[in-house]
Each structure stands twice: as C-alpha cells, then as structure tokens.
Structure 1
Amino acid sequence: MQACAVPIEKISTPVDIPEKFTQTGNSSPLEHWWLAFNDPQLNQLIDQALTDNFSLISTFNRLQQAEAIAIKDSADLIPSIGAAFGGAKSYSNLGNPSNFALGLNASYEVDLWGRLRAQKQAAELDVRVAEENLNTAAISLSSEVAIAWYRLIEQRSQLRLLKQQIQTNRNNVEITLIRFAGAQSSAADLFQQQQTLQATIGDQNNVLATIKVLEHQLAILTGNTPGMFSLANNQQLPDLPAQPQTGLASELIQRRPDLRLAYFRVQAADQRTASAIADRFPKLSLSASINATSPNLQSLFNNWIATLAGNLILPIVDGGRRVAEVERNKAVAAESLNNYASTIQQAIKEVEDALAQEYQQKQLISSLNLQYSYSQKATEQIRLRYMYGAIDFLRVLTTQINQQTLERNRISAKRQLIEYRIQLYRSLAGSWPLPEYENSSIDSKEQENG
C-alpha cells in the first residue's frame, strides 16, 4: 500500500533583495578564491587546513551522523522481518524427548497519511543541511587561514621596520648625547630621545609576541600542534588582486552554502510539521507469522501454522499531546523561515560592508601615502632648522615620532585592505569539492605516523 507522499515545497525568498550590489569588479570570481592572491604558501596552508583541521573533520562527522539517521528513518517504510529458531531436549525416566521450533514474523506499518515518508524526507533534508554546514565551515576556515597568514606577514614587516627604527633612534641618541656633551642640547632633549628609543623597543617586544601567537594559530588551523610547525619567512604583503564581479543578489542566494543551509532547514521543518499532523490520524499496521514445531529436524516443516493480523490504532484521548506537537513544529518552521530571512539580509550586508570598507580603505591608503611624503619633506626641513638653532628639539622629536608612526600605519593599512578583500571573497564564495574525510581521524593519523 502506497501512502500519499508529502511534497517538498519550494520556499520563496522571504525578504526583498536588491537586484544588484552597489559595486562590482571586472575579474571573474574563482571557485578557490584564495588563488587570486597568487601566493603559493597561502595555497599550501589552506590545502593543509582543508585536509587536516580537526574542527572541519568533526563537522564532517556530523554529516555522517545525519546520513545514518536518514537511513534509520527510511527503514520505517520497509517491512521488518525476523526469524527465531530453538531446540530443547528433556531427560526423564520416561524417555528423552526432543522439541524443535522455527518461527518467522513480519510487521509493517501502512503509511496512510504520509507520516513516515515525511520523517524520511525531513531526515534527508537534514543531510543536505549537514552538507552545507560542512561547506560553510570550509569557507570560514579558508578565510581564517588567509587572515592569520597575512596578519603574520604584516607583523614580520613591522618587525623589520621596527629594527630599522630602533637603529635610527639609537643613532639619534648618540647624536643627542654628543650635542649634550657639547652643551648644544639639554638633558631633557637626551631623556626624550632615550624614551623614544625604549618605546620603540617595547613595540618590538609586542610584535614578537604577536608573531608567536599567529604562528600558533596557524598551526591549530592546519591541524598541527603549536611548537611542532614551521612556516616560510615571508615578509612582503601581496598586491591586491583585481576586484571580483559581485553578480546579482539572487545569484548569491543560490551560491552561498549558509543560505542553502537555512533554506533546507525551512523545508525540513515543514516536513516535520506534516509528520506531526499525520500522527493525529489512525495508524494501520500489518503483521504475519509462520511457526513450526517438531520433535526432530526432519519433520520440522510438516507441522506449521500461519497467522495474518491487522491493527488499526486510533488516538482518542492523549491530553493534547499530539496537538501540542503540531503547534511546536509549526513554531519551529516559522522560526526557521525567519532565520532564513535574517541570514539572507546578513549575507547582503556582508557583501556591501566589504565593498564599502575596501573602497574607503583605498582612500585611506592614498591619504597615508601623501602624509608620509609630506612627513619626509617636513622632517628634512625641521632637522636643518634645528641644526641651525631655529627651533627646539621637541619639534624634531615630534616629527620623528610622527614619521615612524606613519611608516607602521602604512603597513597596517595595506594588511587591512587585504583583509577586507578576504571578507569580500568570503561573502561571495560558493562551495567547492572537499577532500575525502572517510579515513580522517585521530586513530588513522596515528597509524600513519606509527
């Protein structure tokens, strides 16, 4: 007997969305977005993370669990068949009789109202949710690796710059000391220059600590233990790739795995609501059994009996349990739909935020470059005037500190621009084929290493 199948309905977009984004580029988006940076070390790190990151593998394990549950729920649509065999032998003064018994039984619930089929379809949709959750985790992981990697390169660049600034400040201390010995500078001038030197050394210590923290973070992201992982000593941030095409907002909804995840959750909730409604109606189950008994195995099939039965169960009084379950599932479905709408809006916001931040960051970098150019010219003029005694030392020191700050800010601004681009890639990214995780576990890795 075939039940009435509960259709999986398409969900229309629950919120209004713009036709297109406010900005777009000319570069065709890449499936593996990080390849746009043309950075072999980054490619290697992301490949390793997608293969060995334990958090990502655990997300795959949740997919395996969902697949197993789907198989389990599908089994309810198939008749259950069992067999039993037994034998006994008695000992007494009247003889030693034997008895053998064989039984076969089958049971099947007729899915009159589509309850079991709705449960099966909900479980299958849960598998799709788990698949998209894995894809979403992979996108997040790839962007985390890229951000950590370029933050590390930025800190290495800052360290190289700080070493140069420390040497410059040491030279300035020596010059000021000579001028102080010649009564051309005051003790205050010397102390201020020494304080500037020590402040720069303190900044270097902070950068060294940050470098270690970022190295440890990359180790964890790539599935390695901190202290047992080495990285190439890259110190140069890459140039920003051409801006990708943002496409249509409707295409984003179809492309992003987190949006597909939210979509499948709505459909799964609808199926569970249908199952809860069907649970209020009568259930029809069929059963059949064949039993045979005999004092010996040779004649076991000569004495048998067969039974066929049907049961119709109609809920009458349940204290409102089934009605409450229907209402609960309806609320879950409504929540899923609202979450889907919110996720769409958040996705649009992430793209627009990244576009706006990147545009403004480019303007900031242009401003910093101009400021640095003016600072260099001002420093030359102020030093000359100081040498001739036209201005005091504080003006020289202030200009020196400003110029060194600008040098560091330019590096940070370039890294921040790259980070905004990574956020844009992440907000536009779709899924890609992931490695096979079937044998990815702690036990399998220990066997490989052993």
Structure 2
Amino acid sequence: MHPLVVSWSRARAAVLSALLLALAACAGQPPSSSPPVATPELFSRSGEAAAPQQWWVAFDDAALNRLVDRALGANLDLQAAYQRLNQARAVRARQEAGLFPSLEARAGAERRDDGDSETDLFSAGLAAEYELDLWGRVGAQADAEAFRVAASGADYQAAALSLAAEVANTWFELLTQRTQQELASAQLDTNRDVLSLIRARFGIGESASADVLRQRQLVEASREQLLTVQARTRVIEHQLAVLLGEPPKGVVFPDDGTLPALPPLPATGVPAELVRRRPDLRQAYFQLQAADADLASAVAERFPRLTLSASLSNETTDSEALFDDWLATLAGNLVLPLIDGGQRRAEARRFRSLREQRLYEYGQATLVAFQEVEDALVQERQQQRRMESLREQLALADSAYRQLRIQYVNGAVGYLEVLSALQERQELRRTLITARQELLAFRVALYRALAGGFPVPEEEENA
C-alpha cells in the first residue's frame, strides 16, 4: 500500500478516536446512589418493637386486617397502578428486542399479463438484520426501560402502602363516629332528663321560664349533633366501600368494633435504611437511573452506527423450484451523523438537564421522607400529652357539674352555671373521642413513613 494512503488511514483513525473520546466525555459521571442531601444519623425517637411489613396487624384488629386485605385485592386505583407496571414491562421487552437480530420471512405470488401470454411468478425469502451496539446506545435504551419498570414497581408498592393507610384511617374514623353517635344519643337522654327536672322546679316556682327555654335549646342542639354524626357515619361507610372497590351501600361493615389501643412505638431504625426501604424513594432513585441511561443513549446517537443485514431469496415461475437456487446476500451499513443542525447535541443537553432534575427530585423526596417520620413522632408524642390534659379536664368538669347540680337543687347557684358546666363536660367527652382517633392517625402516619414496599405481582402472560 502506498505510504500516503497508510498515513491518511492512520490520521483518519486518530481523528475519529479523538472525536469519540470527546463525545463520550459529554455523558458525564453516573449519578451517585446516595441522595444529594445530608442524612441524619438517628431519628429523634425510637421504640423497640419491630414494625412488620404488614404494619396494620400491629393494631390487633381482625376487622381492619380483613378490610386491608380486601382493598389490596380489589381497589381500582391499585389495579390501575398494576396495569401501568405491565405497560412499562411491555415497553422494556420491546426495547430489549433491539439487542437481538430480527428475522423476517416473505412469500409472494403474482400473475403477469404481457398481452400474448400470462406468467405466474413465485417468490420467497428470508431477511435478517442486526445492529452492532458498538457504543452501547441500544443497551442504554434497554437499561432505561428496565429502570422505568423498577420505578413503576416501586410506584405500585407506594400506591398499595397509601391504600392500606387510607383504609386504616377511614376504618378508625368510622369507629370514632359510631362512638360519637352513642355518646350523642346518651347526651340527648341526659339533657332531656335535666329538662324534666327544670320543668318540675318551674312548676313549683323554683326555676324561671328562661331556664326551661335554655335547656330546651340544649336538647335541640343535642338532637342536631346526633343527626350530624349519623350523616357523617353514612358518608364514611361510603368512602370505605369505594376503597374496597365496591359501590356505596354495597358493603356491610361489622358494627361491634371499638378503637384499638395504641401499639408500642416501633423501632424507627437508621435514616439511611429508610432511603433504601421506602418505595417512593426507590421510585425516585430508579427514575434518576433511567434518566442517566437516557443521557448515555442520547450521547451514543452522535456516534456511527453499524448494521449488518443478510438475506436469502428466490424468484421463479415454477413453484416446485421455488426452494432451489437461493440467492444469498450479506451487507454492512455504516452511518455516521455529520450535520444535523445541532439536533443530537440539543437532545443530549435535554437529557443531561433531565438527569439533574431527577437528582434534585430524589433529594427532595428524601428530605420529605425524613420530615414525615419526625412529624409523626412529634405529633404522636404531643397528642399523648394532650390526651392526658383532656382526661384531667374531663375529670374536673365531671366534679364541677355534680357539685353545681347539687347546689342548683339547693338553690345556692343559678341555672346558667349548671348549663355551662354541662356543656363543657359534654364537649370534652366528644373531644376526647376525636383525640383518640387522631392519635391512631398519627401512628398510621408513622408506620406509613417507615414502611417498605409490598411484594409486586408477577407479570401475567396474555395471549
């Protein structure tokens, strides 16, 4: 070979190598698996009880266990999340097909009429094509879709976790409203009894007519409170039925349950473990990894592509000789992008910016996760202290009401003092019931903030 030809070949190879190295540098460094935020060493509080993956069983409520299991199998939003996961799996399978050669078979028959005679022409052939993934473009695209499948799986787990928490909170609210209904009915009876007492005293001239009117107004207010609680109970039953994938009034719920006791405080563990365990954080991480793979694919789009193709074909007028004397071809096709107006470069910039966006979203989701754990811990502890105060207030209100009632019967105090004490006593009882439900809601929030994902259903084989 002439020396000039050899020198030109070497120079061209050197230029091409330098170009490829420069393009590869545009891909940047792969993202870190750690979120770009400071991770605390420990949470502010921690218990000793290990929180089970199915955290709702810690409440020891058989009815709640059945409701959650039923919702996980029938809730329509969760089923939709599962179908999104299946769609991602199908896209992954489609993209992974590009890693393998494609083979097509063709067959045809036609009749040609040249005016004097008719000729039957038969053809058959096989064609194969395969792109050599020299720069990892096809593999990066497949990796991106694999990460999106993982993100969709984590999204399904997060949806299941949220559904379980919503069912638990709705069930506890239903039990609360039933308790409030019983209390409202009892308070209505109490206020009617007091009204009878005042009317009797009014009949002998020991009470004023205004006292009777005020007590009648309290009786009507108690009746209105009972009606409100009954309506709220029906609404919550409808909400719970829809969570179970059933129409309103389509489910009969057990009516003998009461609010459970608060389980022991679970071990909160190490914040770094929370990042690896929570499904929403794993979803954000997989989205980050997918964006990084997309960037690698976009950079590889600027590299040359080498495609190999092979074919076997035959065309004859004799159908019996169709499979004789095949014509075989083998070809290679090299495509090097030269000028595209900056389209590929702009696409690479877009994916680089998307990767940075996913990185910051991952960090934000991690901060929110830490916040949710700390918020739940603080709210639960403060709610326990609040309930202690409410119980003390209720005990004092009971004592004050009893003493004022005795004094009123003896004529030592007026009715307004008794009425005020009675209303405060009844309001404290209603508030204490609601506070118990709020305490359980804070514990559900803690379990949800600490929980990992549930198993993801396997992909169904469809014909």
Please say if 1:213 is aligned against 2:227.
no
Q: Which region of structure 1 is more displaced relative to structure 2, 58-67 or 27-36?
A: 27-36
Please list the CA deviations of residues 368-388 of structure 1 after superposition, one character each: whole Å capped at 9, or x if unmatched: 111111111111111111122
Q: Which residue of 1 is the match for residue 168 of structure 2?
A: 146
Which amino acid counterpart does residue 46 of structure 1 have in structure 2?
Answer: V
CA contact (8 A) 1:282 1:314 kept: yes
Please list the CA deviations of residues 38-67 of structure 1 after superposition, one character each: whole Å capped at 9, or x if unmatched: 101000000000000010011000000000
Q: Which residue of 1 is the match for residue 399 of structure 2?
A: 377
Please say if 1:204 is aligned against 2:244.
no
CA contact (8 A) 1:294 1:303 kept: no
Q: Which residue of 2 is the match for residue 336 of structure 1?
A: 358
Q: Which residue of 2 is the match for residue 29 of structure 1?
A: 51
Please list the CA deviations of residues 236-287 of structure 1 after superposition, one character each: whole Å capped at 9, or x if unmatched: 2111111101011011111111111111111110000111111112222222
Superposed displacement of residue 290, structure 1:
1.9
Please say if 1:182 is aligned against 2:204.
yes
Q: Which residue of 2 is the match for residue 448 of structure 1?
A: none
**Structure 1 unaligned runs (5+)?**
441-450
TM-score with structure 1 length normalisation? Answer: 0.93
Superposed displacement of residue 96, structure 1:
4.8
CA contact (8 A) 1:57 1:437 kept: no
Q: Which residue of 2 is the match for residue 282 of structure 1?
A: 304
Following the alignment from structure 1 to structure 2, what is the Cα–Cα distance between the partners of residues 246 and 428? 7
Q: Which residue of 1 is the match for residue 265 of structure 2?
A: 243
Which amino acid counterpart does residue 231 of structure 1 have in structure 2?
Answer: F
Structure 2 vs 1, CA of residues 194 and 68 (structure 1 numbering), >3 Å: closer, same or farther? same
Following the alignment from structure 2 to structure 1, what is the Cα–Cα distance between the partners of residues 458 and 290? 26
Q: Which residue of 2 is the match for residue 315 of structure 1?
A: 337
CA contact (8 A) 1:269 1:333 kept: yes
Q: What RMSD in Å do the two structures reach over aligned CA positions?
A: 2.0
Please list the CA deviations of residues 74-123 of structure 1 after superposition, one character each: whole Å capped at 9, or x if unmatched: 11111111111112345688555332111211122221211111000000
Q: Which region of structure 1 is more displaced relative to structure 2, 131-140 or 100-109?
A: 100-109
Q: Which region of structure 1 is more displaced relative to structure 2, 166-175 or 148-157?
A: 166-175
Q: Which residue of 2 is the match for residue 447 of structure 1?
A: none
Structure 2 vs 1, CA of residues 61 and 93 (structure 1 numbering), >3 Å: closer, same or farther? closer
Q: Which residue of 1 is the match for residue 122 of structure 2?
A: 100
Please list the CA deviations of residues 1-25 of structure 1 after superposition, one character each: whole Å capped at 9, or x if unmatched: xxxx999765223111111100011
Following the alignment from structure 1 to structure 2, what is the Cα–Cα distance between the partners of residues 29 and 439? 35
3-state DSSP class of the match of 1:97? strand
Structure 2 vs 1, CA of residues 148 and 437 (structure 1 numbering), >3 Å: closer, same or farther? farther
Structure 2 vs 1, CA of residues 20 and 62 (structure 1 numbering), >3 Å: closer, same or farther? same
Superposed displacement of residue 438, structure 1:
4.3
Which amino acid counterpart does residue 234 of structure 2 have in structure 1?
Answer: K
Q: Which region of structure 1 is more displaced relative to structure 2, 316-325 or 330-339?
A: 316-325
Q: Which region of structure 1 is more displaced relative to structure 2, 311-320 or 35-44?
A: 311-320
Q: Which residue of 2 is the match for residue 429 of structure 1?
A: 451
For 1:157-196, list aligned pairs within 5 A: 157-196=179-218
Please say if 1:388 is aligned against 2:388.
no
CA contact (8 A) 1:84 1:102 kept: yes
TM-score with structure 2 length normalisation? Answer: 0.91
3-state DSSP class of the match of 2:320? coil
**Structure 2 unaligned runs (5+)?**
1-23
Which amino acid counterpart does residue 446 of structure 2 have in structure 1?
Answer: L
Please say if 1:273 is aligned against 2:295.
yes
Following the alignment from structure 1 to structure 2, what is the Cα–Cα distance between the partners of residues 438 and 218? 29
Q: Which residue of 1 is the match for residue 14 of structure 2?
A: none
Structure 2 vs 1, CA of residues 439 and 213 (structure 1 numbering), >3 Å: closer, same or farther? farther
Q: Which residue of 1 is the match for residue 426 of structure 2?
A: 404
